Amino acid sequence: MSQQEMLNQIGLGTVEELFGDIPQEVRLSRDLNLPVALSEFELLNHTQNLSRKNLNLNDHTCFLGAGAYDHFIPSAVDALLSRQEFYTAYTPYQPEISQGMLQAIFEFQTMICELTGMDIANASMYDGASALAEAMLLACQSQKRQEVLVARTVHPESREVLKTYAKFRGLTVREVGYLDGQLNIQELKETVTSDTAAIIVQNPNFFGTMESLGEIGEIAHNNKALFIVSADPISLGILKSPGELGADIVVGEGQSLGNPLNFGGPYLGFFAVKEKLLRKIPGRIVGETKDKNGNRSFTLTIQTREQHIRREKATSNICSNQALNALAATIYLTLLGKQGLKEVALLSLQKSHYAFEQLTSHDNFSPVFSSPFFKEFVIQSVVSPQELNRKLLDHKIIGGYPLEQTYPELTNGWLVAVTEKRTKEEIDSFVLKAGGQ
């Protein structure tokens, strides 16, 4: 057999001799204690059984959002992602044989710029939360300040990630409270100082409510701080772009753009800035150039920011990002196009408002905020949302997010998301079952 043949050719007798450099005292003298190998057929059975221990959204109607959304994904997305040339390839370091991925990322960068109203976007980050943390690091570095202000209306997990990244860098994250579901502007004005590197908000925020971006951006700029907005990309089909409203950095969670929920990942973060910050941003960037025959071509560029060149002085340590998820977003946005994205946004807007009205017309539910919202809203329930959700599960409905776990002051608060996938019939049934009849 070829193994022995190969050993002979390199002048060795046994495989064991290949490992002569590994001292005996650190060698594993037993077999790994792992389950025995499964054949392909057995593996499929085993994992199928495991997957059936979960309740999935194909069999259930989903009104749960809170940062991950059940939007429709056109079939062409996965068909194209499944092409091995894309999904098995490495990072496009060899541009001559990677033009496909490079061009797709260039298209992705353009689409993100268009959505956010910014000049420059990178090739993606791990997710929305880590993108926000990197935006904070950029702001502190660029403004040479040590503190950021973040609205409490920003996703609780994003704020946790901000605090993790900040604490190890000696940065301070201060939270600013909310009023009627929006960032409390008065409190913001009282909290901002000359050491504030950035003001960070999310739009629509965690409660689904729209923030007064223009006003907040002005406060940031009056204090020579950067204005960082984490945006829901679907909402940008109908909402004014953060770029038009003064944002210096726009990041966000891109899962909604053609990526399945996958129990929380892989998703993608997007990261976009105004021109002046180009050299300071983390992550890969694809640029257009020409090959030596004058043909348009694409390559990774401005790489001197990155870890493999700048090492400890790099803008970030990120290298692998979420290229395939960014490709999914690119294909999704291509299929939906200008009109489709707007329609998805409008359908979500209309359906969530219908659901809100139906629920709040019921005695068991009352509105919590009066501020405008997009596809998600907060209501207060008479019974605990956990209990409601358990009951709804019997009817194959996945209910909203119980807010008390992260906002203790919102007693029996329930965060309900309604995407374009929910039909009137599903919404009516949800309201009926949630109402207890």
Partner 1 sequence: MKINKDLKYTGSHEWVRLEGNIAFIGITDYAQSHLGTIVFVELPEVGEEISKGAPMAVVESVKAASDVYTPLSGTVTAINEELMDDPEQINSDPYESWFVSLELSDSTELESLIDAEGYQRLSEQEE
Partner 2 sequence: MKQQPLIFELTKTERQGFSLPTCDVPTKSIEQLVPEAYIRINPPELPEVSEPDAVRHFTQLSQRNYGLDSGFYPLGSCTMKYNPKVNEVIARMDGFQNIHPYQAEDTVQGCLELMYGLDTMLSEISGMARFSLQPAAGAHGELAGLMIIKAYHEQRGENRTKIIVPDSAHGTNPASAAMVGFDVIEVKSNSRGGMDLTSLRESMNEDIAGLMLTNPNTLGLFDENITEIAKIVHDAGGLLYYDGANANAIMGITRPGDMGFDVVHLNLHKTFGTPHGGGGPGSGPVGVREDLVRFLPKPVVEYEEGRYYLDYDRPLSVGRVKAFYGNFSVLVKAYSYIRSKGPDGLRQVSENAVLNANYLLNSLKDMFVLPYDRTCMHECVFSGIKQLVKGVSVLDIAKRLLDYGYHPPTMYFPLIVQEALMMEPTETESKETLDEFIKTLGIIMQEIETNPELVKSAPHNTVVARLDEVAAARHPKVRWRRSL
Site residues for partner 1, 238-297, by CB under 8 A, read 279
- Alpha-carbon torsion, ordered 196, 222, 191, 193, to 10 deg: 40
309 contacts partner 1 (rule: CB under 8 A): yes
CA 92 centroid distance within chain: 23
Partner from partner 1, partner 2, none binding residue 142, C-beta < 5-8 Å depending on class: none
Among the listed residues 246, 245, 198, 202, the one whose alpha carbon sits nearest the alpha carbon of residue 226 = 198
Backbone angles phi, psi at 247, to 5 degrees: -70, 140
- Which of 304, 361, 411, 423 touches partner 1 (CB under 8 A)? 304
To partner 1, the closest distance from the beta carbon of 194 in angstroms equals: 18
Residue closer to partner 2 by CB (options 40, 409) is 40
- Which of 310, 338, 396, 424 touches partner 1 (CB under 8 A)? 310
179 contacts partner 1 (rule: CB under 8 A): no
Partner from partner 2, partner 1, none binding residue 53, C-beta < 5-8 Å depending on class: partner 2
Residue closer to partner 2 by CB (options 44, 382) is 44
**Of the ranges 56-64, 304-312, 401-409, 419-427, which one interacts with partner 1 (CB under 8 A)?**
304-312
- Which of 184, 191, 212, 303 touches partner 1 (CB under 8 A)? 303
To partner 2, the closest distance from the beta carbon of 306 in angstroms equals: 8
Residue closer to partner 1 by CB (options 193, 304) is 304
Question: Across the strands, what pairs with 381?
Answer: 365
d(CA 378, CA 415): 5
**Interaction residues for partner 1, span 312-331 (CB under 8 A):** 313
Sole residue written with tokens 């945006």 = 231
Partner from partner 2, partner 1, none binding residue 383, C-beta < 5-8 Å depending on class: none
Partner from partner 1, partner 2, none binding residue 349, C-beta < 5-8 Å depending on class: partner 2
**With CB under 8 A, what is the number of residues at the site for partner 1?**
7
Sequence-distant (6+) residues with CB within 8 A of 178 are 151, 152, 153, 184, 207
d(CA 270, CA 331): 15
Q: Which two tokens stand for residue 275?
A: 């021109």
Among the listed residues 251, 165, 234, 157, the one whose alpha carbon sits nearest the alpha carbon of residue 200 = 251
Residue closer to partner 2 by CB (options 236, 359) is 236
Sequence-distant (6+) residues with CB within 8 A of 429 are 61, 395, 397
Residue closer to partner 1 by CB (options 287, 372) is 287
CB atoms within 10 A of CB 429: 16
- Torsion sign (Cα): 394, 396, 401, 405: positive
Q: Which two tokens stand for residue 368?
A: 């919590």
141 contacts partner 1 (rule: CB under 8 A): no
Partner from partner 1, partner 2, none binding residue 54, C-beta < 5-8 Å depending on class: partner 2
Q: How many CA atoms lie within 13 A of 231 on its CB side?
A: 32
Residue closer to partner 1 by CB (options 279, 396) is 279
- In a 3-state reduction of DSSP, which class is residue 135? helix
Residue closer to partner 1 by CB (options 224, 279) is 279
To partner 1, the closest distance from the beta carbon of 95 in angstroms equals: 12
Partner from partner 2, partner 1, none binding residue 19, C-beta < 5-8 Å depending on class: partner 2
Residue closer to partner 1 by CB (options 87, 93) is 93
Residue closer to partner 2 by CB (options 36, 409) is 36
The DSSP code sequence of 358-389 is: HHHTSTTEEES--S-BSSEEEEEESS-HHHHH
Q: How many CA atoms lie within 13 A of 59 on its CB side?
A: 10
Residues that bind partner 1 (CB under 8 A): 279, 302-304, 309-310, 313
